[in-house]
Amino acid sequence: MPDLIPVTILTGYLGAGKTTLLNRILTENHGKKYAVIINEFGELGVDNDLVVDSDEEVFEMNNGCICCTVRGDLIRIIGGLMKRAQKFDGIIVETTGLANPAPVAQTFFVDEDVKAKTRLDAIVTVVDAKHLLARLDDSPEAADQIAFADVIVLNKLDLVTPEELARVEARIRSINRYAEIHHATRGNVDVTKLLGLNAFDLGRVLESVPDFLDEDSHTHNEHLNSISLSLDAPLDPEKFNIWIGHILQTEGQNILRTKGILSYKNEDRRFAFQAVHMIADGDFVAPWKATDKRTSRIVFIGRDLNRPQLRRGFESCAA
């Protein structure tokens, strides 16, 4: 297997401090080279040798999935970057403030050429601690960006009181309980907490998931929330495929992300499953350790999720 180039997607609402964070990442002395893909309407300059302008051109795949939208410009740009003799350590894709993260993420699931050369490392969302609550009330994109995130940088901490911060964090957790949250002022986050995370290598993420068995947190008016399910009995892969296929086909528009680490019957390797809306991908990863409790875990982040129904379905996949 060739070394796949890690790709970090940097999202965040206008004014949240995305470009400041990006410049901070690029100028920090880490000795690594990054190719940066930005939108031409970005308000601030980006300080890097290799910056590529993109037009965020989204198109709908003719593959029967009604919400399978893909960024064609990214496919083209990544193909072009791979031709360069001068190599780099990673790619950072900055999206515009209003962008829905789904097409960017789906690009890395759908296109075979992109999959052959790169891997999605993490979706990092920058939010403004002072204005997030207002943004969440007036724009669905702001909530989607939080729901999609593997890592959330809670920026502009110097502008809020501890009480305001607690409210903002609670609100983020009500949407996405499984993202890592880092506090920041003017984007001062350690780069190692943002890049090279392998967040899509689900084992680590799901192992660190807190409160697996507690009840869902209360949701607000956006109806976005996250739930997790676990099962100690090994799964029948065929049953699981039929069930998850059906769930994503029928509910995929409302389910933004699905991640799972699964224990299949008669299989010593863990199976990592993930999906963005209806587009799913899965592969065997490192084997269970002898000391591991082989618990299958799956997380859904989406709108109006029906926990009892999902739980019954998941449990029915037991071998």
Pick from 27, 44, 45, 55 the residue near other proteins by CB under 8 A.
55
- The two tokens of residue 96 are 């515009």
**List of residues 6+ apart from 186 with CB closer than 8 A:** 17, 20, 24, 155, 156
Q: How far is the CB of 4 from other proteins (least distance, A)?
A: 16
Please choose, out of 97-105, 109-117, 181-189, 276-284, the segment that lies near other proteins by the rule CB under 8 A: 109-117
Q: Counting contacts by CB under 8 A, is residue 1 touching other proteins?
A: no
Q: Counting contacts by CB under 8 A, is residue 158 touching other proteins?
A: no
- The two tokens of residue 187 are 């984007």
Pick from 1, 31, 43, 85 the residue near other proteins by CB under 8 A.
85
Q: How far is the CB of 80 from other proteins (least distance, A)?
A: 6
Residue 62 or residue 208: which is nearer to other proteins going by CB? 62
Q: How far is the CB of 196 from other proteins (least distance, A)?
A: 25
Pick from 8, 73, 128, 175 the residue near other proteins by CB under 8 A.
73
Task: Report d(CA 225, CA 220) in Å as an integer.
Answer: 9
Pick the closest to residue 116 from 1, 272, 208, 247 (CA basis): 1
CB 121 within 8 A of CB 199: yes
Pick from 4, 52, 280, 318 the residue near other proteins by CB under 8 A.
52
- The two tokens of residue 252 are 């995929």
CB 243 within 8 A of CB 235: no
In the chain, which ranges are E strands? 5-12, 34-39, 50-54, 58-60, 69-71, 90-94, 118-128, 151-155, 180-183, 224-231, 255-263, 269-276, 279-287, 296-303
* Span 173-192, contacts to other proteins by CB under 8 A: none
Q: Counting contacts by CB under 8 A, is residue 3 touching other proteins?
A: no
Q: Counting contacts by CB under 8 A, is residue 56 touching other proteins?
A: no
Residue 104 or residue 205: which is nearer to other proteins going by CB? 104
DSSP state of 265: T
Pick from 27, 44, 47, 63 the residue near other proteins by CB under 8 A.
63
CB 68 within 8 A of CB 277: yes
Q: Counting contacts by CB under 8 A, is residue 41 touching other proteins?
A: no
Pick from 1, 29, 43, 86 the residue near other proteins by CB under 8 A.
86
Pick from 27, 47, 59, 246 the residue near other proteins by CB under 8 A.
59
Instruction: Please report the sign of the dihedral spanned by the C-alpha atoms of residue 87, residue 88, residue 89, residue 92.
Output: negative
Q: How far is the CB of 109 from other proteins (least distance, A)?
A: 13
Pick from 94, 111, 141, 251 the residue near other proteins by CB under 8 A.
111
Tell me, letter by letter, the H, E, C secondary structure of 121-136.
EEEEEEEECCCHHHHH
Q: Counting contacts by CB under 8 A, is residue 84 touching other proteins?
A: yes
- The two tokens of residue 84 are 């360069």
Instruction: Please report the sign of the dihedral spanned by the C-alpha atoms of residue 208, residue 214, residue 220, residue 224.
Output: positive
Pick from 113, 232, 238, 268 the residue near other proteins by CB under 8 A.
113
Residue 33 or residue 220: which is nearer to other proteins going by CB? 33
Helix (H, G, I), strand (E, B), or coil: what is residue 236?
A: coil
Residue 83 or residue 289: which is nearer to other proteins going by CB? 83
Q: Counting contacts by CB under 8 A, is residue 47 touching other proteins?
A: no
Q: Which residues lie near other proteins (CB under 8 A)?
A: 51-53, 55, 57, 59-63, 70, 72-73, 75-76, 80, 82-86, 111-113
